[in-house]
Amino acid sequence: MSSSNPVNHLHDIILTPTAMTTAALFTGAIVVLIYLLYQCSLPKPIPGIPHNQTSLDSPLGDFPKMLQYMHEMGNSLCFCFSSHVQKHNSPITQILIRPFTRPMVLLADFRFLHRVAGPAIDVNASRLIELWKVKSGMAAGSPFSANVDVYQAALDAVFGFAFGKDFPHSATRPKLELLKGLDAESVERIRRKGEKGDDEPIEFSGAETDEVITATLDLAIMLGTGPSLLSPAIDIPEDLRRETSQLAKKEGKGRAWDPEDIGVFKPERWLVSAPKGHREQSGFEVEFDAAAGPQLSFSLGTRGYFGKRLAYLELRILITLIVWNFELLPCPKELSSYNSTLGITNKPNQCYVRLRKVDHTL
């Protein structure tokens, strides 16, 4: 009986031509498969639409650059898209967002895009005013954050006109009751100034929120950004547009904002010269025109926000009550940024107010 060395036997198997050929074919197949998967994962831009050429060599496409932009600029995805459009100076661009998917096409030209609630809103807006009167008294001239207060007051208003103005659940009422119940020592702690004195924002403790309210905390207006809205429109030859778009402009429907101050907060841009008959009847030289220029606060077309009029009613009541009851003083520059974060809506990163109560007895 002869014995054999297992090591030599294994060595013979490995070195046989058949084994070597099989291993080579298997390795080659794996390499080819990896290469094909890599090629399939690379962005596939739509021909004829501007895009970042340098993003074609990575399966992640534009994604790393987008993250870097948002980190460095402190802005939301909306502003990242706007920057992309402005970079290519084109009304239609594409973003290569992730592997194995089609590009995201960005359209940035406005002309391409084809009495029950009142009392409830008033009750909840008035509650916000009462809360801010208490807060402004405690703040004694210092700014404080208004973001959550406005957000929750809007939510209360929605519940109010949906379920009646006597709806028992509220996000604002617990905070108001908490502050009104503070003793003198607690109020004094709130009023303590930091190193910045009156410019130091006051922090108010939050109250435990009603569970019904906690379940619904995403309500605001979706703001449009980008060319035609917050930056000058991209110049497009009229002969490249559809006949309906050209006709709309000839009929005076293709309006645009003045590019010189398009990014400035300027409410009077919606005031236009009133027709002669209206001037004689009202006595005003100008009138409000909701279509004075392009805007996408409520989107457009069949997917446009159907609650637009309700939202405007809420805004009118809330802003009127705020301006009627408070003088809005300037906040420190470091609390006055226009940077934002994209959630369900485009939310400001900083939303502070410095209030002085208006004395209506004078």
The DSSP code sequence of 126-177 is HHHHHHHHHHHHHHTT--EE-HHHHHHHHHHHHHHHHH-TT-S--SSHHHHH
Q: Given this model, what pLDDT does residue 218 score?
A: 36
Q: Given this model, what pLDDT does residue 127 score?
A: 94
CB 155 within 8 A of CB 218: no
Interatomic CA distance for residues 89 and 254, integer angstroms: 20
Confidence of residue 49 (pLDDT cuts 50, 70, 90): very high
Helix 147-163 × helix 308-325 angle, to 10°: 130
Which DSSP symbol is given to 306? T
CB 256 within 8 A of CB 294: yes
Tell which residue, 237, 229, 234, has the closest CA to residue 257. Answer: 229
Helix 173-180 × helix 117-139 angle, to 10°: 30
Confidence of residue 213 (pLDDT cuts 50, 70, 90): low
Mean pLDDT of 193-209: 77
- Residues 151-180 have pLDDT tens digits of 888 888 888 877 777 778 888 998 999 999
Give Cα separations from 338 to 182, 196, 263, 334 (angstroms): 34, 22, 11, 11
The C-alpha angle with vertex 43 and arms to 95 and 341, in degrees rounded to 5, equals 30
Confidence of residue 184 (pLDDT cuts 50, 70, 90): confident
pLDDT of 70 strictly over 90: no
Confidence of residue 193 (pLDDT cuts 50, 70, 90): low
Q: Given this model, what pLDDT does residue 126 score?
A: 94
Q: Given this model, what pLDDT does residue 333 score?
A: 92
pTM of this prediction?
0.55
Q: Given this model, what pLDDT does residue 115 score?
A: 60
CB 39 within 8 A of CB 27: no
Interatomic CA distance for residues 178 and 175, integer angstroms: 5
Q: Given this model, what pLDDT does residue 330 score?
A: 94
Residue burial 199-209, b: 16+ Cβ < 10 Å; e: rest: bebbebeebeb
Burial class, 68, CB count within 10 angstroms (exposed 0-12 / middle 13-18 / buried 19+): exposed
Strand 144-145 to 352-357 pairing: antiparallel
Confidence of residue 250 (pLDDT cuts 50, 70, 90): confident
User: Which range, 23-32, 132-141, 310-319, has the best average confidence (pLDDT)?
Assistant: 132-141
